[in-house]
Structure 1
Amino acid sequence: MALPDESLPAAPAIGAMLQDLGTRIRVLRRERNLTLERLGELSGLSVGIVSQIERGKGNPSFATLAQLAHGLDIPVGRLLHVAEQRRSPVVRRGERRRLDGHGLGNDDGGQYELLTPDFTGALEVVWVETPPGYDTSATPYKHNGEEFGLVIEGRVVVHVDGVAHDLGVGDSIRYDSSVPHWYSNPGPEVCRAVWVITPPTW
């Protein structure tokens, strides 16, 4: 589905980003042995639009990128942040990207900051702060990959496939994230933890 802004010329800075985006999509498509026609079928887009984006000539909307990501079977974040592959590998504390609510489909009360420079690597690392009473039991998570968590301050209970794991300062956990899992903070203070997810899911 072509959206009106996909035919608009891009400014020079945006043009370079769109070229990077197109190259990334083409590499991902070829890694999966997909033709333009097949990617078009999987994403619900015309061959012309896919080809235009790969050549850096289009200015795709978020909805179009989401369709392409679905066709490539990757998180849309891998496409959205492709231009950031050239940034420094260092993430300064005051420059962390806030992820509150993004990728979760809701605002669950937690605060999330990305500790890795972008979403293009094999894993993502997130700083998570959850207030007392935090509870995501209403929306358990389930996605491919693995997760690892390390509690820095406070307490968190990680529920994995119906089993509750109560973690305090210095405790850590690793689990298969393809089984249902959710989190709660039953303590009286904010819990601060580092969470590692592979592959990136935000």
Structure 2
Amino acid sequence: MDGESLSIPESAKAAVQEETEKTFALIGQQIRKTRQRRRITIQQLADASGISASMLSLVERGMTSPSLLSLTAIGRNLGLTLAEMMSGELQEPPEEAVTRVQNMPLIKTPDGILRRILRQDRKRGVTITYNEYGSGIGNSPVGITHTGFEYGLVIEGELTIEIDGIQTVLHSGDVVSLRSTRVHKIWNYSASKATTVWFNLDEAES
């Protein structure tokens, strides 16, 4: 068959196209669900992955065919494998009583926050993180919202939390409880670093 082009029936082309669209829709749903669970904005993930926010939005809605390079970058920043993206199923790590510090993912967010994921329990919808905020660093210059509920404990230093436009200064030992759908901004205006532990729940009761 050298020199001959392979002819694919129109019905087969349509079936392949439909299957491809379903796959990219599934990938987009998995990316969006995981991004929201990890409290990462579209802009933050886009910046970290080297793509535009508008492109990432199209990917999440299954309206474009991202390159393998882009998917790999997105997956790396979310802790997702390509297999997990395509299957729509997250592989739960075995339940263990002890998690060693060397096995806890350590990432630096696009905003400059050093975040160590102490424990992520997908089954129960709980994520526990240890965050370090350098001087002049915070989660968002204008505030963010996302699903769920969160508790934060200030371990060291001073942080300012702004909830619905109202600022409160937090010191070591202070605890904040917050429905995550409220506009909130967490910022370190002091000259020293601040550290916190956050307990994030995927769902918040109404």
TM norm structure 1: 0.57
Aligned to 1:98: 106
Give unpaired runs (5+ residues) of structure 1: 1-44, 51-59, 102-106
What is the count of residue pairs matched by the alignment? 141
Aligned 8 A contact 1:87 1:117 in 2: no
Q: Return the match for 2:141 from 135, 138, 142.
A: 138
Alpha-carbon displacement from aligned partner over 1:89-136 (angstroms, at most 9, x marks no partner): 4222222102322xxxxx101111111145443211110000011144
Task: Note the C-alpha offset of 1:188.
Answer: 2.0
Q: Distance in 1 between matches of 2:107 and 2:142?
A: 18
Q: Return the match for 2:186 from 177, 183, 187.
A: 183
Which residues of 2 match residues 29-108 of structure 1 at below 5 A?
46=18, 64-68=26-30, 75=37, 82-101=90-109, 107-108=110-111
Q: What secondary structure sits across from 2:102 in the alignment?
A: helix
1:122 partner letter: G
Q: What secondary structure sits across from 2:154 in the alignment?
A: strand
Structure number, greater radius of gyration: 2
1:134 partner letter: I
Aligned 8 A contact 2:164 2:184 in 1: yes
Which residues of 2 match residues 107-126 of structure 1 at below 5 A?
107-126=110-129
Against the structure 1 CA distance between its residues 64 and 186, is the aligned structure 2 distance closer, same or farther, given a 3 Å change threshold?
same
Aligned 8 A contact 2:157 2:195 in 1: yes
Q: Distance in 2 between matches of 1:166 and 1:71?
A: 32
Alpha-carbon displacement from aligned partner over 1:16-71 (angstroms, at most 9, x marks no partner): xxxxxxxxxxxxxxxxxxxxxxxxxxxxx946876xxxxxxxxx78x852334659
Give unpaired runs (5+ residues) of structure 2: 1-16, 38-77
Against the structure 1 CA distance between its residues 67 and 136, is the aligned structure 2 distance closer, same or farther, given a 3 Å change threshold?
closer
TM norm structure 2: 0.56
Among the aligned pairs, what percent are the same residue? Answer: 23
